[in-house]
């Protein structure tokens, strides 16, 4: 860790050093090193992450802003938010979005179990978007004392980096993640020829998160806006201009910003082939059956499919979604559908089964897990599944936050044998593959 700006105007080294906190206390007893509520009292630290997602991302190509591009089965924004939401040190998350992206935002984070405040709209520039986000945190009445500002297009930020930036704020008013320059730098002349070689000693490439005491960085942003300074390229630059010392925390190149189509391809390869040394594979299976009764349709995979009969069930009787729900709960070691949604509870009478599956998906997300694929086999003589297969795949993928290519739907008869062969009922079997982080146990 190194100091990027040593004792600028407004701070003295003695001030900073005199206000160090004591390491080793549990987080709920951590205290802010500078702000005192009353003589002899200290205010507990509350840290928020401010995710800046209001840009249009045109250089990355595609039809959507880069923060809403999909990497395997997730959006860039969802991965970024969960990188912070999975850390106990982050109490609140504030996302700043473009005014036209409300629907995209809601879809991207529909299944997230993270602690997210209502989004706020950004401004014409990143600098104004950050200011809007800081104002929202100040007005949230959550007692927030520290803020980590992070680009939405950096989904691979590592937990250690976030924790080190937070730790640096114990002793410095500001801290930023950065990597030392490894390449030789050349300054070009007017004709495109090399004019000089720039010494790289002491040069760092700034990344995010960039952490500050909320009151300090908000005041700096307000001052910049009031004086017409709108040319800052990051928040550490504003802090330096305002006289706030900023410490450097060495980061990893993995925390790159997705800017171009090549960046997106690199990110997709990274997310599609995770380092299994940090993940625990978990599998789950589920099975559900319902007898036929009077009716004119059955629910399968979230679709209403016409049939000469209905099913006898407490909920809507969707055997496909019930089997998938049990498979997810099994992979987590978290009971079964009957435990979480007992048929004895009238609340679930006639309930739509997608509610059960969404709950199981949220449980996976709350543990930092990723669903890699889902596979279902339907056992029945009728109705025919083939005509509805693609629509079922699409619907299940939507509910689970997966790409449809990661959902398998198969159907088979039992050759006239058993209760399905006698057309007395319908059944479904499901299997699920998850990846869970090693530090988040399955149960």
Q: Quick one: pLDDT band at residue 61, thresholds 50, 70, 90?
A: low
Higher pLDDT, 6 or 149: 149
Length of the chain equals 443
Read off the pLDDT of residues 167-194 as tens digits, 9 standing for 90 and up: 999 999 999 999 998 888 899 998 889 9
Report pLDDT for 11. Answer: 40
What gap in Å lies between CA 385 and CA 381, rounded to an integer? 10
Q: What is the CA radius of gyration of the chain?
A: 26
Where residue 415 falls (left for φ over 0; alpha for ψ -120 to 50; beta otherwise) is: left
Q: Are 300 and 318 in contact, with CB atoms under 8 Å apart?
A: yes
Read off the pLDDT of residues 32-41 as tens digits, 9 standing for 90 and up: 333 333 344 4
Which two tokens mark 343? 């048929």
Report pLDDT for 281. Answer: 84
Q: How many CB atoms lie within 10 A of CB 196?
A: 10
Read off the pLDDT of residues 348-406 as tens digits, 9 standing for 90 and up: 998 999 999 999 999 998 888 889 889 999 999 999 999 999 999 999 999 998 888 88
Report pLDDT for 113. Answer: 63
DSSP 136-178: HHHTT-S---EEEEEETT-TT--HHHHHHHHHHTTT-SEEEEE
Report pLDDT for 57. Answer: 65
What gap in Å lies between CA 246 and CA 204, rounded to an integer? 13
Alpha-helical runs (H) found in 9-157: 13-18, 76-85, 102-108, 126-138
Q: Quick one: pLDDT band at residue 9, thresholds 50, 70, 90?
A: very low
Q: Quick one: pLDDT band at residue 62, thresholds 50, 70, 90?
A: low
pLDDT(165) > 60: yes
Instruction: Using a cut of 0.75, tell me whether the model's pTM lies above it.
Output: no
Read off the pLDDT of residues 307-362 as tens digits, 9 standing for 90 and up: 999 999 889 999 999 999 999 999 999 999 999 999 889 899 989 999 999 999 99
Stretch 248-261: mean pLDDT: 92
pLDDT(292) > 70: yes
pLDDT(198) > 50: yes
Q: Which residue has the tokens 């005192």?
A: 36
Which two tokens mark 329? 């709960």
The DSSP secondary-structure symbol of 72 reads: T
What gap in Å lies between CA 347 and CA 315, rounded to an integer? 10
Report pLDDT for 332. Answer: 94
Q: Which residue has the tokens 């990846």?
A: 435
Question: Which of these CATH numbers, 2.90.10.10, 3.40.50.620, 3.30.1330.50, 3.90.850.10, describes 279-437?
Answer: 3.30.1330.50
Residues whose CB falls within 8 Å of the CB of residue 96, separated by 6 or more in sequence, listed in order: 50, 51, 52, 53, 54, 119, 120, 121, 122, 129, 130, 132, 133, 136
What are the start and end residues of each CATH 3.30.1330.50 domain in the chain? Answer: 279-437
2-273: CATH class:
alpha beta
Stretch 242-269: mean pLDDT: 92
> Could you tell me how far CA 256 lies from the centroid of its own chain?
16
What are the start and end residues of each CATH 3.90.550.10 domain in the chain? Answer: 2-273
Report pLDDT for 150. Answer: 98
What gap in Å lies between CA 168 and CA 350, rounded to an integer? 53
Q: Are 181 and 204 in contact, with CB atoms under 8 Å apart?
A: yes
Q: Quick one: pLDDT band at residue 117, thresholds 50, 70, 90?
A: very high
pLDDT(77) > 90: yes
% the chain with pLDDT above 90: 64
Report pLDDT for 232. Answer: 95
């Amino acid at each position: 860790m190194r100091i990027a700006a040593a004792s600028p105007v407004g701070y003295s080294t003695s001030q900073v050093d005199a206000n160090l906190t004591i390491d080793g206390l549990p987080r709920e007893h951590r205290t802010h090193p500078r702000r005192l509520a009353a003589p002899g009292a200290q205010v507990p630290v509350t840290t928020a992450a401010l995710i800046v997602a209001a840009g249009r991302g045109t250089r990355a190509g595609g039809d959507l802003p880069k923060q809403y591009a999909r990497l395997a089965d997730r959006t860039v924004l969802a991965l970024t938010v969960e990188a912070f939401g999975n850390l106990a040190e982050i109490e609140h998350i504030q996302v700043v979005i473009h005014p036209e992206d409300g629907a995209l935002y809601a879809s991207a984070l529909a299944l997230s179990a993270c602690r997210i405040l209502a989004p706020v709209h950004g401004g014409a520039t990143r600098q104004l978007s950050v200011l809007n986000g800081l104002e929202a945190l100040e007005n949230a009445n959550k007692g927030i004392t520290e803020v980590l500002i992070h680009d939405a297009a950096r989904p691979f930020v590592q937990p250690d980096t976030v924790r080190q930036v937070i730790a640096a704020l114990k002793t410095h008013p500001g801290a930023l993640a950065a990597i030392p320059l490894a390449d030789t730098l050349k300054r070009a002349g007017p004709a495109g020829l090399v004019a000089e070689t720039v010494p790289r000693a002491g040069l760092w490439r700034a990344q995010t998160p960039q952490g500050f005491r909320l009151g300090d960085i908000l005041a700096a942003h307000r001052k910049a806006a009031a004086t017409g300074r709108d040319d800052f390229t990051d928040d550490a630059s504003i802090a330096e201009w305002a006289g706030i010392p900023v410490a450097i925390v060495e980061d990893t190149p993995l925390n790159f910003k997705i800017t171009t189509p090549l960046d997106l391809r690199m990110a997709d390869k990274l997310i599609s082939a995770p380092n299994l040394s940090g993940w625990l594979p978990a599998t789950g299976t589920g099975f559900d059956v319902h007898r036929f009764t009077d009716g004119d349709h059955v629910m399968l995979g979230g679709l209403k499919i016409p049939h000469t009969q209905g099913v006898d069930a407490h909920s809507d009787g969707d055997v496909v979604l019930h089997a998938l729900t049990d498979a997810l709960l099994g992979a987590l070691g978290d009971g079964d559908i009957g435990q979480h949604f007992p048929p004895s509870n009238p609340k679930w009478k006639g309930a739509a089964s997608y509610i059960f599956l969404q709950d199981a998906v949220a449980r996976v997300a709350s543990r930092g897990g990723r669903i890699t694929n889902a596979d279902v086999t339907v056992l029945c003589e009728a109705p025919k599944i083939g005509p509805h297969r693609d629509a079922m795949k699409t619907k299940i993928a939507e509910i689970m936050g997966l790409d449809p290519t990661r959902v398998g739907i198969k159907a088979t008869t039992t050759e006239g044998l058993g209760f399905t062969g006698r057309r007395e009922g319908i059944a479904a079997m499901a299997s699920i593959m998850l990846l869970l982080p090693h530090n988040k146990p399955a149960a």
